[in-house]
């Protein structure tokens, strides 16, 4: 897969995520308090796969070269007024924040359990466990799709590279800045 194909595939994934996230936001409009300047979810130590890091690098080269990351404790891309400085090119993890989230995980006994969560600012409203499954963002499928995209991109760059589905390298957003100050 060429770099150009990887970028096109990433843009398509992000567009699908945005469309579905917008549907969920409309469905939950009464409970969502997310707006420009709300940055409770913009925490430090967020990481992305290389394919998403490349999108950010390509679109925000000057910011990364000459700009300064936000002070530690919040996302490096948070602006002085609580805005995202890379909003159109933000990574997947940022595109679903604030929505009711659900995921499956294995407990210590090996049993698969569903978990749900939502930003504390958006907690008022129907109980999360009372929501239909489709009323929540399912964590997992898009992450797997992004990991596969990264793996295919890596395989093209290095034909002898082993599959990395389970261990795809993640890059801290803060590390994208030339000056990580």
Structural domain count, the chain? 1
Q: pTM for the full model?
A: 0.87
Q: What is the pLDDT of residue 38?
A: 84
Residue carrying structure tokens 């590279």 = 161
What are 8-26's pLDDT values in tens digits? Answer: 999 999 999 999 999 999 9
Which residues of the chain fall short of a pLDDT of 70?
1, 157-168, 179-181
For residue 101, the surrounding DSSP H or E stretch is strand 101-106
Burial class of residue 96, CB neighbours in 10 A (0-12, 13-18, 19+):
buried
pLDDT of the residue at 34 = 83
Q: Which residues pair with 105 in a beta bridge?
A: 113
- Model confidence over 121-145: pLDDT tens digits? 999 999 999 999 999 999 999 999 9
pLDDT, residue 167, reads: 52
Give the integer Cα–Cα distance in Å for 26 and 168.
33
Give a yes or no: residue 135 inside a domain. Answer: yes
Q: Give the three-class secondary structure for 133.
A: helix
Cα 15 off chain centre by: 13
Distance CA 132, CA 129 (A): 8
Domain region containing 150: 3-176
Q: Helix, strand, or coil here: 64?
A: helix
Is 82 inside any structural domain?
A: yes
Query: Does 181 reside within a domain?
Result: no
């Amino acid at each position: 897969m060429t770099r150009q194909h990887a970028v096109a595939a990433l843009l398509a994934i992000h567009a699908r995520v945005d469309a579905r996230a917008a549907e969920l936001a409309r469905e939950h409009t009464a409970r969502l308090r997310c707006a420009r300047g709300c940055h409770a979810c913009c925490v430090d130590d967020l990481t992305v796969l290389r394919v998403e890091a490349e999108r950010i690098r390509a679109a925000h080269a000057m910011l990364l070269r000459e700009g300064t990351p936000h002070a530690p404790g919040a996302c490096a891309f948070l602006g002085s007024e609580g805005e995202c400085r890379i909003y159109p090119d933000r990574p997947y993890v940022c595109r679903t924040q604030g929505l009711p989230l659900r995921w499956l995980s294995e407990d210590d006994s090996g049993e698969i359990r569903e978990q749900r969560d939502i930003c504390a600012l958006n907690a008022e409203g129907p109980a999360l466990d009372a929501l239909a499954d489709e009323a929540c963002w399912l964590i997992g499928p898009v992450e797997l799709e992004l990991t596969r995209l990264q793996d295919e991109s890596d395989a093209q760059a290095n034909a002898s590279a082993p599959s990395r589905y389970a261990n795809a390298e993640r890059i801290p957003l803060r590390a994208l800045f030339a000056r990580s100050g």
